Amino acid sequence: MSTFFRGPVCGTDNCRSRLWRIIDGRRTCQYGHVMEGDVEYNDDEDDINSMGVVTRRLNLTTNATGSFRSSMNSQSQNSQKLNEFTKVYGEEADRLFLKCFQHILKLQCGWLVKSQNFPPIFQEVVKTMWMRLLKSLEQNDSQDLETQNETSSARHDYSQTRARLGLSLLSSLALLYTAGVHLKLPAFWPDYLRWVCSMKLVYFKANLQLPSSWRKSLPNYYLQVLEGGKAPTAAQFYHKLSETHTRIETHTHFNVSITTEPLILKLLLALRLPPHLSFYTLELMRLTEARNDFNEFKIPKHRRIRDLKLHEYMEPITAAYVILALRFKLLELNQFLNNYCTVWLRLSNLGTSDDLLTTTSYGLSSPGSWDQKSTDKYLQWMESQFLPVSTRMESDSQSLDQRIANRKLHAMFPSPKQSLLPSDNESNSEKTFTDQVQDAYLSVCDGMQHLPSDQEVTSENAQVLASRVEARLVTWVSQHWALSEQQLNGCLHHLLSAKARQAA
């Protein structure tokens, strides 16, 4: 006979007892009432030795409200929930994956149109390119099927070994980028990378944006594809861009020429360099490219090689042109640019808060080296962008008991209604991007006024200054454009070799 323990109200004949104990395997209250349903009768005819009433112990669990429930009942309920959405595989899984990918692509287009003021026709162009990409997938499947024998075993081997459509979230960025190129929009790879790293554009944990029924039915390997994984690099993006460009045949149906002037101006403003440096950059392009459309670059076709030639893509080669143009002007002993870059090297913060997040993903700087303003911006992003996305699935994945327990826990330890960090409206009202750029230029001009007026620029000093400026530019561009310094230096060496061949 066990000791008394507290439980639910008995309720038999208005009994208010909450004390229970086990007597002969039966749960009995302190006044002798047996809990209803606690006795089971064994009518098995094979068991001759045990005729009559047989009792057994039931493992009763309590839920968040404190009432008992049978473990067998809870297990059956859990099995029903698990079987409610079964995983799909094969062709059905492929169709569901394409449906999920299209849903994410639609969310990305909607955000660009709403938040970045892309024209409404942008969605139509992306839709057209997506349809052509689907058509290329269908053609690849039909070609693969023709190469297989028509036996049942061959079809089975084909279904087991064929590639999983070759799509990833980088494919969606490639479609968005190509559609922007076709419409001549001033949006380039660094812009998409900045939106992705700041979690404004749907990319990381994109599978959380799907309906729960789709997510529960999608196979795990497709869920991992829609997870986003690590932050993309430029080499990965350009490889996927050329592959997508070749599959949808954009060179015959769409415009693939990219003008460099908007990117040059964006880069100079982000680096707080003199805007008139763009004229020197374009002049260097005209002399090096030796063609009429020297300021336009096309998306190269896909090559089935691992060695990706980044100097064929517009963004890396444009950054290399800007760096070389500034270096050449410094070596020409340009007094204004030498004084400007001398003060410019003292600037600590370049770019915006979104650039800080990109640097955190690709750079080597630690948060310990940030100032108070940068730390506040990063914590504000964590609270407003990262945490809501990370905890979005809690309400969907938790059971009723877990939700009740969560609600009680929050009632015991209420979170502050107002954040201690400055809000987005406060930070945006303090300084906009234009104000930040203007303040940076004014600070450089003030610093130039305090330089010695009689200071002469020598070739030796210009060489040292040009090397320091080039090293800082290479580091900044590589961290914010997801390039390695080796890749960017490779673009610089390619341009220097081209200039050397022209001189010869």
| 457-480 pLDDT per residue, tens | 778 888 999 999 999 999 899 888
User: Angle, nearest 10°, between helix axes 314-331 and 459-480?
Assistant: 160
Tell me 501's DSSP state. Answer: H
pLDDT at 276: 92
Q: Is pLDDT of 90 > 90? A: no
Identify whether 484 is part of a domain. Answer: yes
- Show Cβ contacts of residue 243 under 8 Å, excluding neighbours closer than 6 positions: 166, 174, 302
Among the listed ranges 225-229, 256-260, 364-368, 385-389, which one has the minimum average pLDDT value?
364-368
Mean pLDDT calculated for residue range 420-432: 52
- 171 and 229 fall within a common domain: yes
Q: What percent of the chain has pLDDT over 70?
A: 70
- 320 and 333 fall within a common domain: yes
Q: Decide: pTM greater than 0.85.
A: no
User: What is the C-alpha R_g of the chain?
Assistant: 33
- 270 and 160 fall within a common domain: no
- 26 and 131 fall within a common domain: no
Instruction: Name the residue with tokens 């909450």.
Output: 18
Select from 255, 281, 296 the last residue of a domain: 255
Among the listed ranges 10-19, 246-255, 353-362, which one has the minimum average pLDDT value?
353-362
Select from 208, 227, 255 the last residue of a domain: 255
Cα–Cα distance between 304 and 160 in angstroms, integer? 24
Mean pLDDT calculated for residue range 202-222: 88
Instruction: Count Cβ atoms within 10 A of the Cβ of residue 139 and give its class: 0-12 exposed, 13-18 middle, 19 or more buried.
Output: exposed
Number of domains, the chain: 3
Mean pLDDT calculated for residue range 380-396: 62
- 165 and 35 fall within a common domain: no
Instruction: Report the candidate in 186, 167, 182 with the shortest Cα–Cα distance to residue 226.
Output: 167
Identify whether 175 is part of a domain. Answer: yes
pLDDT at 28: 87
Mean pLDDT calculated for residue range 152-178: 68
Identify whether 79 is part of a domain. Answer: no
- 173 and 309 fall within a common domain: no
- 480 and 383 fall within a common domain: yes
User: Which phi and psi angles does 232 have, rounded to 5°?
Assistant: -70, 150
Mean pLDDT calculated for residue range 220-247: 87
pLDDT at 40: 45
pLDDT at 358: 62
pLDDT at 454: 66
Instruction: Name the residue with tokens 């409404």.
Output: 120
- 39 and 146 fall within a common domain: no
Identify whether 125 is part of a domain. Answer: yes
Q: Is pLDDT of 216 > 60? A: yes
Select from 255, 285, 301 the last residue of a domain: 255
- Name the pLDDT band for 296 (thresholds 50, 70, 90): confident
Q: Is pLDDT of 323 > 90? A: yes
Mean pLDDT calculated for residue range 12-38: 83
- Name the pLDDT band for 96 (thresholds 50, 70, 90): very high
Mean pLDDT calculated for residue range 397-408: 75
Q: Is pLDDT of 139 > 90? A: no
Identify whether 210 is part of a domain. Answer: yes
Mean pLDDT calculated for residue range 146-152: 46
pLDDT at 151: 46
Identify whether 216 is part of a domain. Answer: yes
Long-range contacts of 305-310 (CB under 8 A, 24+ apart): 308/235, 308/238, 308/239, 310/234, 310/235, 310/238, 310/483, 310/487, 310/490, 310/491
- 119 and 251 fall within a common domain: yes
Highest mean pLDDT out of 108-122, 345-359, 472-486: 108-122
pLDDT at 49: 55
Query: Residue-wise over 289-324: b if at least 16 C-beta within 10 A, else e?
Result: beeeebbbbbbbeeeeeeebebbbbbbbbbbbbbbb
pLDDT at 148: 47
Identify whether 174 is part of a domain. Answer: yes
Cα–Cα distance between 320 and 313 in angstroms, integer? 11
- 368 and 437 fall within a common domain: yes
- 62 and 92 fall within a common domain: no
- Name the pLDDT band for 162 (thresholds 50, 70, 90): very low
Identify whether 452 is part of a domain. Answer: yes
User: Which phi and psi angles does 252 have, rounded to 5°?
Assistant: -105, -20
User: Which residue range forms the structural domain that includes residue 123?
Assistant: 87-255
- 126 and 140 fall within a common domain: yes
Q: What is the mean pLDDT of the chain?
A: 78
Which of the two residues, 501 and 220, has the higher pLDDT score?
Answer: 220
Q: Is pLDDT of 84 > 70? A: no
pLDDT at 304: 65
pLDDT at 132: 92
Q: Is pLDDT of 149 > 50? A: no
User: Angle, nearest 10°, between helix axes 189-197 and 169-182?
Assistant: 140
Highest mean pLDDT out of 127-136, 140-149, 151-160, 199-208: 127-136
Cα–Cα distance between 426 and 373 in angstroms, integer? 13
Mean pLDDT calculated for residue range 338-349: 84
Beta bridge partners of 403: none
pLDDT at 158: 39
